Structure 1
Amino acid sequence: MGTPAQAPTTVDLLVVLTRVETKLDSAGAGLADHEQRLRTLEQAAVTSTELAPLRSDVESLKRARWPLPALGALCGIGGLVSVWWQSTGR
């Protein structure tokens, strides 16, 4: 038969409790870090009511912009006129 198991000593229990306490402290610090990040995200979050004016501003800017294809066509025509002007000797 085997030898009977020895009861843990007070020192053994203190070592185990210290390890558990260390792990709980590190887990608590990590949890506090995540909570801080969540609070920061909540403060910086943009709600849909704040987005509505921004969307209308973007839409008005889209309507007011000068389209790039038209600008490209004008540059092309200007280049042709310039070449024609120089080739005719004026």
Structure 2
Amino acid sequence: MNESPSLSDPAVVAVELERLRGTVEAGFARADGQLALLVQRSDQTDKQLADHEQRLDALERSRWPIASIGALAAMATGAVALWELTGR
């Protein structure tokens, strides 16, 4: 009668532990690869965010003179209109 190997046999236990170790190592390698990809994407997102912040700051700095110029033009127009009304 041919008996199947049992877990009480040290050789069988060693083989099963080695298989389990290989499975765990492969799982960790896969998880490490996925984490590395996430870190790379996070770094790219941080760079894009910093670039957008820089561009937004530049737009905000260049925008404020437009309102001032508009106000000065309106005052100049008002002054010319007032001068026209009182001058003639």
TM-score in terms of structure 2 length:
0.50
Q: Which residue is 1:38 aligned to?
A: 46
Segments of structure 2 that go 5 or more residues without pairing to the other structure are 1-7, 75-88
Displacement after TM superposition at 1:22 (Å): 0.7
Instruction: Give, in whole Å, the separation in 2 of the partners of 1:23 and 1:35.
Output: 18
Instruction: Report whether the alignment pairs 1:17 with 2:15.
Output: no
Q: 2:54 aligns to what SS in structure 1?
A: coil
Over the matched positions of the two proteins, sequence identity in percent amounts to 8
What is the aligned counterpart of 1:60 among 66, 69, 78? Answer: 69
Displacement after TM superposition at 1:17 (Å): 0.6
Relative contact order (C-alpha < 8 Å, sep 6+): which is higher?
A: 2
Q: 1:25–1:49: structure 2 CA closer, same or farther, 3 Å change rule? A: closer
Segments of structure 1 that go 5 or more residues without pairing to the other structure are 66-90
Runs of 4+ that moved beyond 4 A: none
Q: Give the root-mean-square deviation of aligned CA atoms.
A: 2.9
Matched length: 60
TM-score in terms of structure 1 length:
0.50
